[in-house]
Amino acid sequence: MQGTRHLNQRLKLSPGTDWVERSKRAVWHPCTQMKHHESLPLIPIARGAGAWLYDTDGKRYLDAVSSWWVNLFGHANPRINAALKTQLDTLEHVMLAGCTHEPAIELAERLSALTGGVLGHAFYGSDGASAVEVALKMSFHCWRNSGKSDKREFVCLTGSYHGETIGALGVTDVAIFRDAYDPLLQRAHTGPAPDSRRGPEATEASLAAIAELFATRGAHIAALILEPLVQCAGGMVMHEPAFLAAVRRLCDAHEIHLIADEIAVGCGRTGTFFACEQAGIWPDLLCLSKGITGGYLPLSVVLSREQIFAAFYDDDSARAFLHSHSYTGNPLACRAALATLDLFESDDVLNANRVKATRLRTALEPLAKHPAVRHMRQCGTIFAFDAKISRPESAKTFSRRFFETALRHEMLLRPIGTTVYLMPPYVLDDSEIDLLAWRTRATFEHVMALDL
């Protein structure tokens, strides 16, 4: 290693060249076929500022996907940084069993207040997938404590994504993540998802199928889990809020918990702080992660209703929810989340985002008219469209080719299959919004031109 570094210095190679080779040898990158990095660039990121990431050569990239949907207020945000520095000098971590601390308490109280007190108990986890595991276990255990241990099945929707641990994969319906592990999984019932591209009929069909499943299996079903308003990893598949309200009614009628996985769509992404607000409903359990710390530190939260909490409240330890992760409720992560909530309040973020989203929508209009663009759609600050590609071989490599071309246009953009989406941080100014729209169009035209 030392030798390589000295060699690089002599040859005046950027340190990034060294990083890339060392990383390919030592780091097993997530969600990646490592062999693809023989040709696909691995970008050595040296620093971030606002919506931009800078590599070791000083080249910049607009983080148009918020670093996997986590970053809300830009990289190295001065206000989140300051809050974390203070917390760091006060308390870095303490176990949350038997102890408590201010950031965990304040965050739980403020999240509860954001649900009007309906979801008044916050259980902390580390990543999104761990929140899903918590919600599934909690639902099952709640019914068991209530004398209904037959309720042990779950329902998810087609195209759903709820994380990649074994339990979460059981309620995930994205073949590429799930198929290899199928023999290990406890598979959930899968109901057809609504899809705005297929119109109200898809919603009707979905509700009818869920109603029928509930009517036949209801006594065995603990919970239905869904991603409110947008199935993100499944390809930015959107539905109307009315669907959520109808599912809520079905769950009530059959004594089935509704788990809202707001890991991606929460924290203002869809235009309201929680996506469920748009349907005027609350779930029984709500999972939050990703943006909750502004993209700083891993943290997830499961918010639960009083009735669920009460089903565990007893003298008997075996009736308690004996689940934990070592870093549950980490004070630094909770502090980053509090600083994030502060920014929502002080900067009137939801209203400001409405204005920004309108500008981006307008700026994307020329792209929407491209003959190979299908189904340009929007929900809050999520924009997506499908590329119409006739040759199947081109469709297969579209995402990688788009990613590489976008890099040359100074953008970090990773399509899902042939679905291109933008999920930028909330801090873009007008010129960055225009740049994003214009360069997405240029990238698309470039990739499609090579395709013919």
- Virtual CA dihedral for 159, 263, 236, 253, nearest 10 degrees? 60
For the chain, how many residues are written?
452
Task: Work out how close the CB of 266 gets to ligand PLP at its nearest, in angstroms, rounded to a whole number.
Answer: 9
Residue closer to ligand PLP by CB (options 50, 415) is: 415
331 lies in the site for ligand PLP, by CB under 6 A? no
Tokens of 439: 């360069």
Binding mask 208-247 for ligand PLP (x = CB under 6 A): -------------------x----xx--------------
3-state secondary structure of 385: strand
Instruction: Name the residue nearer to ligand PLP (CB basis): 250 or 302.
Output: 302
Per 3-state DSSP, the chain is made up of helix, strand and coil in percentages (nearest 5) of 50, 15, 35
- Asked if 302 is part of the footprint of ligand PLP (rule: CB under 6 A), the reply reads no
Q: DSSP class of residue 416?
A: B
Which of 55, 63, 127, 386 forms a contact with ligand PLP (CB under 6 A)?
A: 127
From the list 294, 284, 293, 298, the residue with the least C-alpha distance to 328 is 298
Establish if 304 lies at the interface with ligand PLP (CB under 6 A). Answer: no
What ranges in 270-348 are assigned the alpha helix state H? 306-312, 331-346
- Among 261, 284, 386, 432, the residue binding ligand PLP under the rule CB under 6 A is 261
- Which one of 163, 241, 291, 415 is in contact with ligand PLP (CB under 6 A)? 163
The answer for residues whose C-beta is within 8 angstroms of residue 64's C-beta and 6 or more apart is 406, 411, 412, 413, 422, 423, 424, 436, 440
The closest residue (CB) to ligand PLP is 128
Q: Between residues 261 and 386, which has the closer beta carbon with respect to ligand PLP?
A: 261
Give 271's DSSP letter: S
3-state secondary structure of 75: strand
Site string for ligand PLP, 353-392 (x = CB under 6 A): ----------------------------------------
Judged by beta carbon, residue 19 or residue 426, the one nearer ligand PLP is 426
Element (H, E) at 252: helix 241-253
Q: For ligand PLP, which is the closer residue by CB, 162 or 409? A: 162
Identity of the residue, 128 or 235, whose beta carbon is nearer to ligand PLP in the bound complex: 128
Q: Near ligand PLP by CB under 6 A, which window of 123-131, 268-276, 336-344, 394-402?
A: 123-131
Q: Are 170 and 188 in contact (CB under 8 A)?
A: yes
Nearest Cα residue to 334 out of 83, 121, 73:
83
Give the angle subtended at the CA of 30 by the CAs of 292 and 181, to the nearest 5°: 100
Query: What is the closest distance, in whole angstroms, from the C-beta atom of residue 416 to ligand PLP in the complex?
Result: 11
- Choices 1-9, 71-79, 128-136, 369-377 (CB under 6 A): range interacting with ligand PLP: 128-136
409 binds ligand PLP (CB under 6 A): no
Q: Which two structure tokens, joined as six digits, stand for 87? A: 């917390």
Instruction: Catalog residues that contact ligand PLP under the rule CB under 6 A.
Output: 127-129, 132, 161-163, 227, 232-233, 261, 263-264, 289-290
